[in-house]
Amino acid sequence: MSEIPKRTRVVIIGGGPAGSLLAHLLHLRAIDSVILELRTREHVLERVRAGVIEHRSAEVLRETGVGKRMDAEGFVHEGVNLAHAGDMLRIDFQGLTGKHVTIYGQTELQKDLYDLIDADGIPLIDAAGEVHVEGIESDTPSVGFENRGAAHVIACDFVIGCDGAHGVCRDFIPRGARWSFERQYPFCWVGLLSETPPVNEELIYASHKRGFALCSMRNEHLSRYYLQGPAETTLDEWPDDRFWAELTARLPDGVADTLVTGPSIEKIVTPLRSWVSEPMRHGRLLLAGDAAHVVPPTGAKGLNLAISDVVYLVDALSGHYDNGSTTGLDEYSERALARVWKAVRFSWWMTTMLHRFPGLDDDFERRLQEAELNYLFGSENAQRAMAENYVGLPH
Ligand SMILES: Cc1cc2nc3c(=O)[nH]c(=O)nc-3n(C[C@H](O)[C@H](O)[C@H](O)COP(=O)(O)OP(=O)(O)OC[C@H]3O[C@@H](n4cnc5c(N)ncnc54)[C@H](O)[C@@H]3O)c2cc1C
């Protein structure tokens, strides 16, 4: 267990991908930090989540020494496939944009980050509860918390909230100084992980009258599949047999015929929502990643936004410590939110185009959905726009 310091430059609340990448990148700029993580290390390292790393995100990981295992074990994907009305369309990322994405599980990335943090000697205090901050409107904030039965306070220059969608940090911004924007979708995703070979080398996003389906993977032996389910569904309603039968029904025949099924090793139900909390800075408190914004997983943007926020934050904090500049800090929220909203738009667009909205079949919106898919299938320009967003807009 790390010794708990009394003072550091930056206290990072939350040791997920945003918090741990931030600590490592600050260490590379000789800025010391402490990470406070609510859960145990083991719990964080077991969570199964995202898997698609954008082109620029992968470059950032590589340039900062995080990407060795990603490069050795990840899979470069130069396109994705869309299935609709019995047809398959391949969106050729490489041909349309000259870029690609890398398939590498968030669980593996988290392991790599914790290994680096340990090697860097950054204190990672896990099982840190009851986190509260003082003085974020002053130049001398502090963070109090409990750890294994004892109370602690760390004095610092900055507090960074990387505590995810259910975190507490954004609530430290006074009510009158923050705004949130939200869209709830009337369905969820049921996800299944199985030790079976993926049905296809690249991801397949399927629009079907029974609902959306996604065929994804972690490696040649580990497949990740998702199905659109009703908003209030529970895991009990999705025994493996039902899941596989429903997935088979939603895939084009040529694909369904080659699907290898097997026992699930993990299953989840994930609600879908788009949500942004603004601003991402108040005084000496700055937010990054899911602590400030959540997108539906349809466009694979959540983890990638956490990475771009961190890149902007490191610029801002380096400017402060290297030459006393406040420009990066002053512009952080606006800069990050400009990119966040483009990803919110893209994830909303993919979600809206590919899912069945209960109650909307056969009406005006259903026709628009058909028109959107037909346009995409028939227009290289539309495909280029999708590819440009999917591989990731520049940081
Ligand atoms: C089930 C699921 C599936 C997903 N699938 C995808 C996908 O396919 N593609 C994609 O791009 N994205 C996906 N995402 C989103 C992606 O995983 C997140 O965007 C990403 O984890 C964001 O990283 P983060 O570090 O900002 O937040 P998190 O990963 O949520 O990390 C926040 C950390 O803060 C800790 N914490 C919370 N509260 C406190 C507190 N009070 N004090 C201290 N620590 C605290 C948490 O324990 C956690 O470790 C998925 C998310 C979930 C939940």
pLDDT tens digits for range 189-247:
999 999 999 999 999 999 999 999 999 998 899 999 999 999 999 999 999 999 999 99
Q: Is 30 left (phi over 0), alpha (psi -120 to 50) or beta?
A: left
Sites in the chain below the pLDDT cut of 70: 1-2, 360-361
What proportions of the chain, in percent to the nearest 5, are helix, strand and coil? 40, 30, 30
pLDDT at position 50, please? Answer: 81
- Does the beta carbon of 14 sit less than 6 angstroms from any atom of ligand 1? yes
Q: What is the distance between the alpha carbons of residues 359 and 111, in angstroms, rounded to a whole number?
A: 43
Determine the residue of 38, 40, 48, 49 to mutate for testing ligand 1's pocket, defined as the one with the most ligand atoms within 8 A of the Cβ atom: 49
Minimum CA distance residue for ligand 1 atom 8: 50
pLDDT at position 203, please? Answer: 97
- Does the beta carbon of 167 sit less than 6 angstroms from any atom of ligand 1? yes
Pairing of strands 179-194, 222-230: antiparallel
CA of 10 to the centre of ligand 1 (A): 20
Which atom of ligand 1 has the smallest separation from the CA of 288? 26
Determine contact, residues 177/247, Cβ cutoff 8 Å.
no
The amino acid that residue 207 corresponds to is S
H/E run at residue 147: strand 142-147
pLDDT tens digits for range 66-115:
999 999 999 999 999 999 988 999 999 999 999 999 999 999 999 999 99
Determine the residue of 154, 303, 339 to mutate for testing ligand 1's pocket, defined as the one with the most ligand atoms within 8 A of the Cβ atom: 303
Q: What is the distance between the alpha carbons of residues 52 and 108, in angstroms, rounded to a whole number?
A: 12
Please state the pTM of the whole predicted model: 0.96
Minimum CA distance residue for ligand 1 atom 27: 164
CA of 350 to the centre of ligand 1 (A): 21
pLDDT at position 254, please? Answer: 94
Q: Is 97 left (phi over 0), alpha (psi -120 to 50) or beta?
A: alpha
CA of 84 to the centre of ligand 1 (A): 31
Q: What is the distance between the alpha carbons of residues 273 and 347, in angstroms, rounded to a whole number?
A: 10
Minimum CA distance residue for ligand 1 atom 30: 164
CA of 311 to the centre of ligand 1 (A): 17
pLDDT at position 1, please? Answer: 58
DSSP 3-state of 290: helix
Q: Which residues, at least 6 apart from 102, have a Cβ–Cβ distance to it below 8 Å? A: 52, 53, 58, 70, 74, 75, 76, 77
CA of 164 to the centre of ligand 1 (A): 5
DSSP 3-state of 2: coil
Q: Which residues are catalytic?
A: 77, 205, 297, 301, 390
